[in-house]
Amino acid sequence: MWKVFYLGESQADRSIGEKKPKLSEEDRPSITELSGYSFKREEFDVEYDNDAELVLADMEFKNTDTEAEHQMKLHVLHIYSKRLDERKRRKHFVLERELLYLDPFEKSLLPEELQICQHYKVFMRFHSKEQHQDFLKNIIEEHRLVKRIQDLQVTHSSTHYDDVTTLSLEIL
């Protein structure tokens, strides 16, 4: 009726309901480590469109190829070249914008503000680095002003209500 389970060494020291200890800044992997970028080789472990080379793996130019086959293989090489150009463009974008490092501006933001910045990162490709930084600062400033106005309106309406209540009580 009763089943006995053996808790091995790996599970014996587990605590139920306890939170996992948080890693210190030194123990956490950096963004560059997580991205898989190798500075010495100047490339990522997994590149954009990493399987682009598979199309060429078995392709051979032979003397027995017809003109149509030859043209098709040249067209495949042209497409592969465009894919490599796009890979190079994206890598240059990441390195130029220093996206492998934490942005000091974003470190200073509240979680809600950081989420807003993440939402607007899709527009980064349309701006220069400086323009995008200014754009984000303006968006965050606007968010803070709107939030402050809302807080003041709530305070004003509750103060106004208290004044009316006090006035009503004085009249009675």
* Number of structural domains the chain divides into: 1
Query: Does residue 30 or residue 156 have the better pLDDT?
Result: 156
Q: What is the rounded (10 degree) CA torsion for 45, 46, 47, 53?
A: 110
Q: Which pTM was predicted?
A: 0.59
Q: What pLDDT, in 10s, does the model give residues 16-53?
A: 555 555 545 555 556 666 677 777 777 777 888 888 88
Closest to 49 (Cα-Cα) out of 79, 73, 71, 13: 79
In a domain, 164, yes or no: yes
In a domain, 135, yes or no: yes
Contacts of 140 (CB under 8 A, 6+ apart): 109, 113, 116, 117
Q: What pLDDT, in 10s, does the model give residues 112-145?
A: 999 999 999 899 999 999 999 999 999 999 999 9
In a domain, 163, yes or no: yes
**Per-residue buried b or exposed e for 5-32, using 16+ beta carbons within 10 Å of the residue's own CB:** eeeeeeeeeeeeeeeeeeeeeeeeeeee
Residue ranges making up the domain that contains 154: 105-172
Give me the pLDDT at residue 88, please: 92
Q: pLDDT > 70: what percent of the chain?
A: 73
In a domain, 157, yes or no: yes
Q: pLDDT > 90: what percent of the chain?
A: 38
Q: What pLDDT, in 10s, does the model give residues 80-91?
A: 999 999 999 988
43 φ, ψ (degrees, to nearest 5): -155, 165
